[in-house]
Structure 1
Amino acid sequence: VLTRASVRDILGLMERPAESVVPFELAREIATREGAKAVLDGEIVRLGRSFVVSARLVSALDGQELATFRETAADEDRLIGALGELSRAVRERAGESLRTIRASSELERVTTPSLAALRKYVEGSALADESGEIDRGLALLEEAVALDTAFAMAWRKIAVLLGNEERDRARAIAAVVTAYRHRSRLTEMERLLTVGYYYTRGPEPNGDKALAAYEEAIRLDSTSTSALNNAGVVYGEKRDYERAEAVYRRVVALPHTFGGAFTNLVQEQIRNGRLSALDSTVAAFRARFPESNDLWEAEWYAVWGRGEIDRADSIGRAVFTRARTSRQAIRAAAATADLAAMRGRWREGLRWWTRRSEAMMRALPSTANRLNFALDTAQQVAMLDGDVDRTRAVIARGLALYPLDSISPADRPWDLLSDIGATIGDPAMARQALAGFERDGAPTARDPMGRRALYSAHVALAERRWDDAVDLLHEADRRTTVFPRYALVQIGRAHDRAGRPDSAIVYYERFLGTPDPQPMVDASWRAPTHRWLGELYEARGDARKAIEQYSRFVELWSEADPELQPQVAEVRSRLGRLRAKVG
């Protein structure tokens, strides 16, 4: 039974006066929103001196009339007695009637006057969060905002899904800005969630403001999935991995959780070194959402986190082969590409990156994605053989076909161009990327100074200014605007090239010893780091450590591309000499 207070709350979400008269159709909509099975409607009709008191019990879900009740009062003095008899009849028969019908699901409490828009919001959110059907979920959410253009929480959800998929940043920004613009019409809880996300992924990112909003939302409702999960995201971005893991543990235990919370938890468990907990988290995900299209991601992270590379590779290939969603195809292809590259099979990796790019373009055939496809190819060429001229030629062809000025400023790939410029030692390219960031990215960056430090570090690396690169990478790392392990390996490499072997060893070892649920940095840098460490230990005269590092390099690159086999042969020769020396 809904209380008057509950009815007033729902009327507020429907943007109706709290003391509105509640006619039957409005009562049925309120019952539908709250998941009530039925509505009791009644009337009193006067016939001369007598009265007829009647009631009907109606299914909220489909309007079916479940039971009718009728009493007659001979006059006004007997009216109260007739009402009593009617009430008793309702209590006696209502339970039996309600057992014969299916309850409607309680619809989420979000502000919109449109029941149709609310239904699409709930269905779209469930498809995305519980089944991993991102594209279908987005389509329904777009239908919801078409029905109610001021539906702030639907706009927010669109921004969240696009942000999670890392696609169409301009559209995601527009969605969160629209949600934020309508925040004044929301309940306090909705407003806090909207403000929190605006400062997490909107045009004015501010982690402290976002976290303040989410923590206040948690104080209002300690079981809010959105508030807790998004607080975990911000903790993770601040590298407070212990608090992030603790929050995600709370999220997965909630009655209304979602699949992504389990995947988030697995990643934090890897970062915190709790590998023994991975299987139980995956099992809990499987038990809660056995049909989720995203379950494989948690399984993949778990085996990758334990170092079971062959199993991770098998999972990625199998998922891509039977992919039912664009997310499955994109992420499975990317993971398989990274593992191939890490093993020195760059040509195979490039084929998988091509499959990823094709899946991206099927999901979103934008100019930005087409250019990213070309730049991904250039990056693979740069890492494969360091052919600067060939890398530049690939980039030039891509930019000729898809000019930067044809792409939204928010989607221009300055990050990738900056990285390639540092990798191939092209100062002009790195400086062009820095200038592009200042123009297009700095105004909406989470931390412009931190991002500027990373771009400037790439310029310094390209210009072989090793000391400047070290300082700038430390600054970017301190401000958490660079992947931590990427900073470690690049700082190590700068020390190495500057002739500081002891410092290089420290950072290379930290890079290899830091757990990471994501394979992207390892794809390019794990195997080379083993080789560089082997060389440094050999030069220091530490044969056993040199053997250990060289052996890991050879194990990773034993089936590397032919172009890389001379490096493998050289390391095998070094291994032979060292093993003969130590006996």
Structure 2
Amino acid sequence: MLRLRTLGVLDLVDDAGRELRSVLAQPKRLALLAYLAVENRRGFQRRDALLGLFWPDLDHDHARHALNQAVHVLRRDLGPRVVVTRGDEELGVDPTGLWCDAAAFERALEAGHLEPALDLYRGDLLEGFFVCEAAEFERWLETTRATLRRRAAAAAWSLAERAEEQEQGSLAAHWARRAVSLAPADEAGLRRLVALLERQGDWTGAVRAYHEFAARLRRDYDLEPSAETRALVDAIRRRAERHVPGAGIEPPKGLRPEHQPGVARARPLARRGLAILGLVALVLGAAAAWAVWVRREARAPPASLTPIAVLPFTVRGSAEYGYLREGMVELLSTKLDGTGGLRAVQPDAVLGALGRTDGEMDPERARALAERLGGKSYIVGSVVEARGRLHLRASLHRGGGDPIAEATVEGEASRVFELVDELTARLFAGTVAGPGARLERLAALTTHSISALKAYLDGESAFRAGRFHTAVEAFEGAVREDTSFALAHYRLALAALWAEVPIIQELQLAERAQRHAHRLPWHDQTLVNAFLDWRRGSTDNAKVLYGGLVAGYPSDVEAWFQLGEALFHYNPPRGLPIVEAREAFERAVFYDARNWGALWHLALLAASERRWNDFHDLVARLTALEPEPDRLLELRVLDALARQDREAERALAPELRSATFPRLHAIAWRAAVYLHDIAGASRIARFLVQPQRDRANRLNGRELLAYLHLAQGRWRAARAELDSLESLSLPFALQARADLAVGSLSSRPLSELRDLREALRRASPAGLGRLWGRDRPWPQVQAHLLGLLSAELGDTAAVLAYAAELERLGEARDARGLTPALAWSLRARILAAEHRPADALRALGEAHPEIWFGATISDPFYSQGRLRYVRAELLRQVGHYHDALRWYRSLGENSPWDLVFLAPSHLRQGEIYELLGDRAKAAEHYERFIALWREADPEFQPLVARAQARLARLGSRS
């Protein structure tokens, strides 16, 4: 049975899962099929009605001929059992020959199967799909689309109500959010969601849902929420204040940098239990650095191209177009040459070998001529002129058999050159096989420029081999040739991200791709939208979209890879393991064995799991792809570190001295996080602080070294780096010193903390410096760190005031929801200090900030590590040990800043596993804690001795 998907993903596949490209490439015929399939439950459709829907501008005879031709082609391509007739005047589809998701969605709703129905509803009906000169069809589409969306929203609300009645709060919230997402401007629906979240005690989630709705309303409609909605949210805030002290406090009038809040005499707030680390990982290919001199490779010609002979076309119609018989040889050869591994035999050679004979080219003669010209592939075709319009048809043959690709185009004769471009692109699309080449096929069908297509294909080839700067150049060429080439904008955004080109803003490129995405099939619009969500940090949305794509299209390499990216980079901030990404990357490699990105992530996963043989094998495969020099350097350094080959590491020192900042920083943090080699990472980071490096390099290098030292329990060495940092940027050094002072397990003297708070309060952002080309959000950073220092000093009033100040300041760039979450975390510290861990957990809430993971390399302020460690500590205190273990395990999986708490998290896990009676796992974590802090400062050694004693009692596994 054929399967037609029209909800969220427009596609048509046969029973083996193969796309039926001949139909997908013809919008009007595809629209006719979709209309018949969606409306099939309401009976057969009269031919006269279909004429008005699809061919309103043609007279009756020509419209009827067009319908008959469309039905003929559909039956030819789909088989005779799909489009069926009833009498001479009615058409429909046979549901035993064609399954359609929209029809199945409505059947499931009517049967009361709401969850299966919503599984089918993956987006609006034929969203982004457009058919020229068919206004009545567009009106039908808008009406039907709105009806199906309303029915989906109503089903989601029904499921939410059912789940709440069954006391399944999380599930109820899930379905309520789904309902709101289906009607994003429905204020009544928003109020239902907010009320439901409050009934579950999720005040943070309720207020956040309101703010997201309000922002969307302003952005899309320039409106504000109604008084009724604002009153509901204000009431929720007031009720929250009864449970969480200071939740609604506004910053006092005098609370400005020049006014210090009074210091209360209360004891320090849970200083050991609520310690912190820093921030999330430097992402693979994060696109922010400054003034990087890139060594670009010369673009080599393709090693092997397939020779194709374009033979003279048959021309019928007006003699005026007889020139196209030989003219198509010249035109099509020029367009095809160099397109995706194809080489056209020179037109002069073809015409010279052929002579001046007229008539059609029979298959045997065509095959013999192609072989004579040096290849077994050839193209034959026809040009038919009628009433000033041209119909061009071409077929590509290999040997004397059936065609391996066919294409047809039609248009005004005055557009002959554009028609040849379109014919070339469609013909090329038919030559590209295999799931790994799907985007090339799509590119050929969605640009009007052959020059743009050629540049795009060059970019794809470079991107897959890990030559990202070359790919950026090629994709830039593609969008110059065709500014509306959505797929090229999308791939340029990806390539720029991996290439770390500072002058290119990949987020803006992704948004540009989305603006042009209406030219793409819905399947690929979904890819673009999911990538934009991923780039913005809206990972839950991205995972849903990518998950829907791989469920419907199991061989979609791009969707598998991007799903892996979402899981790999965004799982740890949600307390989930990065290993969940392995299957997605393995599936991508299964379908595309040379996929650089998937192989690279699999190598990092192998190292993270200490599967060293797999790691070395994957590094060898990546090296064989001949990536660009800086990527090759990173592979060689990581491989030497993993082998503990100091001689090889020393041999690479000259290249490391001259390496760019992004590459050195990436090697250092990946060595620390994935290779578990903090000492080796520190050796690499030393190259960042060489005297010849510029101020920005040294500033970032000193900060990284300070965090790496503290990760090994070496506060004195970290403080030495911070002292050096002060000479480069006093405010930068003060912020790092404050973050680490409240993050260490060894309490700092109160006098030191008071002096530090006073210095930070008086500091000015002047001279702060930039991290990876980004401005540090000084007001939010300052308020947060002052709140943390105040908590350490026991100054409850100041903590609450700084929490309110954070809320007043609003969001920081690339981090939606982080500033409010940090404000609530400050309040949670008060509750924890009052021995109310359950209330503290409720204050933290279940919502997760949406932070672009590339931003987390810029600044420890963006770290979610502190929030995760605090959450784990509170869960441990309330006896939720397995949940606590999950959050402890997430530390150290994706960020150099998290490593500050890697050793403490191992110590806590050892204690919990010992309590649970799992001696082997307890011993494993005690051993890892001891290894990390073996050379820690004296004040940390009692903790090391305690772990050693417990390990001895358990009996070492080794």
**Same fold, TM exceeding 0.5?**
yes
What is the alpha-carbon distance in structure 2 between the residues aligned to residue 391 and residue 313 of structure 1? 46
Query: Which of the residues 112, 116, 133 maps onto 2:451?
Result: 116
Which amino acid in 1 is paired with 2:896?
A: M
* Equivalent pair of 1:381/1:391 in contact (CA under 8 Å): no
* Offset from partner CA, 1:417-470 (integer Å, 9 cap, x none): 68755764564666555544x34459x73xx4x873355214533885663543
Q: State the partner residue of 2:312.
A: 42
The verdict on how the C-alpha distance between 1:421 and 1:248 changes in structure 2, with shifts beyond 3 A counting, is: farther
Distance 1:395 1:207 in 2: 37
Say whether 1:470 aligns with 2:470: no
The answer to whether the 8 Å contact 1:371/1:402 transfers is yes
**How many Å separate the matches in 1 of 2:659 and 2:870?**
38
Deviations 1:30-70 (A, max 9, x none): xx9xx86334142789xxxxx99979695823763444333
What is residue 328 of structure 1 aligned with on the other side?
Answer: 663
Aligned-pair RMSD on alpha carbons?
6.2
**Matched-pair contact (CA < 8 Å) for 1:259–1:285:** no
Alpha carbons of structure 1 residues 312 and 524: separation in structure 2 relative to 1, 3 Å: farther
Which SS does the other structure have where 1:37 is aligned? strand
Task: Give 1:207's match in structure 2, choosing from 525, 529, 540.
Answer: 540
Q: 1:229 is matched with which residue: 544, 555, 561? A: 561
Q: Which residue of 2 aligns with 1:283?
A: 617
Matched, 1:456 2:827: no
Q: Tell me whether 322-331 or 242-251 shows the greater mean CA deviation.
A: 322-331
Contact 1:477 1:484 in 2 (8 A): no
Which of 370, 383, 386 is the equivalent residue of 1:94? Answer: 370
- Structure 1 residues 346, 373: closer, same or farther in 2, change over 3 A? farther
| Pairing partner for 1:146 from 470, 480, 495 | 480
For residues 34-433 of structure 1, the aligned pairs below 5 Å read 37-42=307-312, 60-61=337-338, 64-65=346-347, 66-67=349-350, 68-70=352-354, 80=359, 83-84=361-362, 88-99=364-375, 109-110=442-443, 111-131=446-466, 133-162=467-496, 171-202=505-536, 205=538, 207-208=540-541, 210-211=542-543, 213-215=545-547, 217-218=549-550, 222-235=554-567, 237=570, 239=576, 244-255=581-592, 257-266=594-603, 276=611, 279-280=613-614, 283-284=617-618, 286-287=620-621, 290=624, 291-292=626-627, 294=631, 321=656, 327-335=662-670, 358=696, 379=739, 388=753, 389-390=755-756, 393=759, 399-402=765-768, 412=777, 420=785, 424-425=789-790, 427=799, 432-433=805-806
The 5 Å alignment of 1:485-496 reads 487=867, 489-494=869-874
The alpha-carbon distance between structure 1 residues 393 and 451, as it changes in their structure 2 partners (threshold 3 A), is closer
Q: Which runs of 5+ in 1 are unaligned?
A: 11-16, 19-31, 46-50, 74-78, 363-369
Separation in 1 of the partners of 2:677 and 2:474? 39
Identity of aligned residues (%): 17
Q: Distance in 2 between matches of 1:532 and 1:243?
A: 23
Counterpart of 1:400 in 2: which secondary structure? Answer: coil
- SS of the equivalent of 2:312 reads strand
Residues 230-286 of structure 1: CA distance to partner in whole angstroms, max 9, x if unpaired?
Answer: 233345546586764322211012237521112333556678x6x65x643652563
Task: For CA contacts below 8 A with separation 6 or more, give which structure has more relative contact order.
Answer: 2
Q: Once the two structures are superposed, what CA deviation does each residue of 1:300-343 show, in whole Å capped at 9, x if it has no partner?
A: 99999xxx796799979958727766643230133457799996
Does the CA-based 8 Å contact 1:333-1:352 persist in structure 2?
no
CA positional deviation for 1:287: 2.7
The CA deviation at 1:114 is 3.2
- Higher-Rg member (1/2): 2
Verify the 8 A CA contact 2:567 2:581 in the aligned structure 1. Answer: yes
Structure showing the higher helix proportion among its residues: 1
Question: Cα distance, 1:528 vs. partner?
Answer: 3.7
CA distance in 2, matches of 1:216, 1:403: 42
Using a 3 Å threshold, how does the CA distance of structure 1 residues 548 and 233 change in structure 2: closer, same or farther?
closer
Task: Give the unaligned 5+ runs of structure 2.
Answer: 1-19, 28-130, 133-301, 316-321, 378-397, 399-427, 433-439, 701-728, 792-798, 853-861
SS in 2 for 1:456: helix
Describe the shift of the 1:492–1:246 C-alpha distance in structure 2 as closer, same or farther (beyond 3 A).
Answer: closer
CA distance in 1, matches of 2:606, 2:546: 22
Pair 1:247–1:312, CA change in 2 (3 A): farther
Aligned length: 513
TM-score of the pair, normalised by structure 2: 0.42
SS in structure 2 of the partner of residue 491 of structure 1: helix
Amino acid at match of 2:528: T
Distance 1:380 1:310, change over 3 A: farther
- 1:88–1:351 Cα change, 3 Å: closer
**Shift of residue 532 of structure 1?**
6.8
Aligned twin of 2:185:
none
Cα shift at 1:524: 0.2
Distance 1:92 1:228, change over 3 A: same
Partners of 1:338 and 1:244 lie apart in 2 by 16
Structure 1 residues 212 and 40: CA distance shift in structure 2, 3 A = same
Residue of structure 1 in register with 2:142 after alignment? none
| Letter of the 1:456 counterpart | W
Q: Tell me how far apart the structure 2 counterparts of residues 241 and 340 of structure 1 sit (CA, whole Å).
A: 14
Instruction: Using the TM superposition, give the Cα deviation of residue 180 of structure 1 relative to its aligned residue in structure 2, in angstroms.
Output: 1.0
